[in-house]
Structure 1
Amino acid sequence: MDLRMHEELAEVWDDFQADDDLWVAVLSGAGTRSFSVGQDLKEAARRNSEGTAGPATFGSRGKPGWPRLTERFDLAKPVVAKVRGFAMGGGFELALACDIIIASEDAVFALPEARLGLVAGAGGVFRLSRQLPWKTAMGYLLTGRSMDAQRAYELGLVNEVVAADDLDACTDQWVADILRCAPLSVRAVKEAATASAHLPLETAFAMRYPWEERRMHSRDAVEGPRAFAEKRAPEWEGR
């Protein structure tokens, strides 16, 4: 991922976030070799030699493409990562920023930044240490070791692992299941789960969540029970 790609991706995420007709996103790599192998290190080396890069650290504020997916903390719409092949460095960080990860059997995940004199600054340090037991996360962060898809599944980082030929169909099924749910409910659930993850339970109950405020007063909140009582599929409007 070079700077131009970050700028182009930011436009995509802006469109997705703003368009009420888009309820879920799927992020995948092109081809079969990799989901993403992360930062374009050749570009970084060139910019370092030119003196135009500046020091690299956590986050991308002030850099092209900000806020990147890894820092769109207010994105309430669900994002599914469809991972084939390598998800390394920034590529793994993108997947960690998604809500659901579906991986093919040949997927490989790693945060090798420490081997390169870097840190996993796009959230890898923070998200991996939250999504895995502490010592397990430290084992991967401090060594740069990789994990295969099955190991990622065993650790709870991946929702499902399938044969490469079944990856598209499996991802489509997850998307279909999400779309069966009311979009405002999905966004309220994601927002509340994210915002309250590190709060005491009593505090989490007492908080107010903007998307939940919208859901509880929406037409869809009435449509769901009505459709159930009438024994028909609900017709969600997203409002």
Structure 2
Amino acid sequence: MSAPELKVSEHGRVLVLEMDRPEARNAMSLRMAHEIADALDLLDSRPDLSVGVITGANKTFCSGMDLKGFARGERPVVEGRGFAGLVQKPPRKPLIAAVEGYALAGGFEIVLACDLVVASREAKFGLPEVKRGLTAAAGGLLRLQRRIPYHLAMELVLTGRMWPATEAADVHLVNRLADPGHALSTALELADEVAANAPLALAASKQVIVRSQDWPLDEMFERQHEYVQPVRESADAKEGARAFVEKRQPRWTGT
């Protein structure tokens, strides 16, 4: 068996996914898409893991779909999860993108499927599909307009131009800028800050924010009940209250 195309490691309560196809600038293959899907299943299934971080090896994030594989008839799509095993069905738990170098086409669409974004000051994003006679159908057209102002999203889609991370930070698509080479370490600092909180509350809060965008106003509170009520009744909620009273750090169990 050849080496995995995704390196997976654990840093406390944080699961790190590192795309590792340096010979192809981490272009997405079918194999790597399945490996990402498996890693996200692991993240969601383990109560001792609270946050995921996805990044790329060799100073680049992801250059999009592997066009050589596409020419062979291969599409890096996992049933039920979509492109990269991620964009159609992100994990329940928070996911942070740590971007060095280029995040282009499908690579940018992976970023848009994440909940928080850390990027090197020298990183660049882009949806150049129109330059190739294609469309950004792995979530770019659907998500970008929800993340940034409409006319800016339209400009980026219709021109296909490169977009510096510093400009993305100006409109708050990027949460934190890092010095070149330090996107992952900065993302891990952010992940640790998130992971210090109750895992059930993190997952439920993410789900309400993501799913409530199209809920009717008169149904919002009722609909959020199915996500927040189990958190109120959890052992972690009781532990959080005890820790506050006892003036100590809580010990989360994810139950």
How high is the TM-score relative to the length of structure 1? 0.88
Label 1:46 to 1:60 Cα distance change in 2 as closer, same or farther (>3 A). Answer: closer
Letter in structure 2 aligned against 1:205: F
CA–CA distance in 2 between the matches of 1:82 and 1:174? 10
Aligned twin of 2:133: 117
Letter in structure 2 aligned against 1:7: H
Once the two structures are TM-superposed, the CA of residue 205 in structure 1 deviates from its matched residue by: 1.6
Of 124, 133, 140, 2:156 maps to 140
CA–CA distance in 2 between the matches of 1:210 and 1:77? 16
Label 1:41 to 1:63 Cα distance change in 2 as closer, same or farther (>3 A). Answer: farther
Q: Is the 8 A contact 2:77 2:83 kept in 1?
A: yes
Of 167, 179, 184, 1:168 maps to 184
1:72 counterpart = 2:99: no
Unaligned runs of 5+ residues in structure 2 are 1-27
Q: What secondary structure, in the 3-state scheme, does the structure 1 residue paired with 2:214 have?
A: coil
Letter in structure 2 aligned against 1:72: K
Once the two structures are TM-superposed, the CA of residue 5 in structure 1 deviates from its matched residue by: 1.8
Q: Is the 8 A contact 1:100 1:158 kept in 2?
A: yes
Equivalenced residue count is 228
Once the two structures are TM-superposed, the CA of residue 67 in structure 1 deviates from its matched residue by: 8.1
CA–CA distance in 1 between the matches of 2:241 and 2:126? 44
Of 19, 43, 61, 1:16 maps to 43
Q: Is the 8 A contact 2:124 2:165 kept in 1?
A: yes
Once the two structures are TM-superposed, the CA of residue 66 in structure 1 deviates from its matched residue by: 6.9
| Identity, % of aligned positions | 38
Unaligned runs of 5+ residues in structure 1 are 48-52
1:3 counterpart = 2:30: yes
Aligned twin of 2:253: 237
Of 17, 24, 44, 2:70 maps to 44
CA–CA distance in 2 between the matches of 1:131 and 1:200? 21
Q: What secondary structure, in the 3-state scheme, does the structure 1 residue paired with 2:87 have?
A: helix
Aligned twin of 1:203: 219
Q: What secondary structure, in the 3-state scheme, does the structure 2 residue paired with 1:234 have?
A: coil
Aligned twin of 1:28: 55
CA–CA distance in 2 between the matches of 1:81 and 1:167? 9
> Which shifted more, 193-202 or 129-138?
193-202
Aligned twin of 1:50: none
CA–CA distance in 1 between the matches of 2:71 and 2:145? 28
Q: Is the 8 A contact 2:106 2:138 kept in 1?
A: yes
1:183 counterpart = 2:209: no
Aligned twin of 2:169: 153
Once the two structures are TM-superposed, the CA of residue 210 in structure 1 deviates from its matched residue by: 4.0
Once the two structures are TM-superposed, the CA of residue 166 in structure 1 deviates from its matched residue by: 3.4
Once the two structures are TM-superposed, the CA of residue 18 in structure 1 deviates from its matched residue by: 1.9
Q: What secondary structure, in the 3-state scheme, does the structure 2 residue paired with 1:196 have?
A: helix
CA–CA distance in 1 between the matches of 2:240 and 2:43? 25
CA–CA distance in 1 between the matches of 2:244 and 2:213? 31
Once the two structures are TM-superposed, the CA of residue 69 in structure 1 deviates from its matched residue by: 0.8
Residues 81-92 of structure 1 mapped to structure 2, 5 A cutoff: 81-92=97-108
CA–CA distance in 2 between the matches of 1:212 and 1:11? 27
More strand per residue: 1 or 2? 2
Q: What secondary structure, in the 3-state scheme, does the structure 1 residue paired with 2:93 have?
A: coil
> Which shifted more, 198-207 or 112-121?
198-207
RMSD (Å), alpha carbons: 2.2
How high is the TM-score relative to the length of structure 2? 0.82
CA–CA distance in 1 between the matches of 2:158 and 2:196? 41
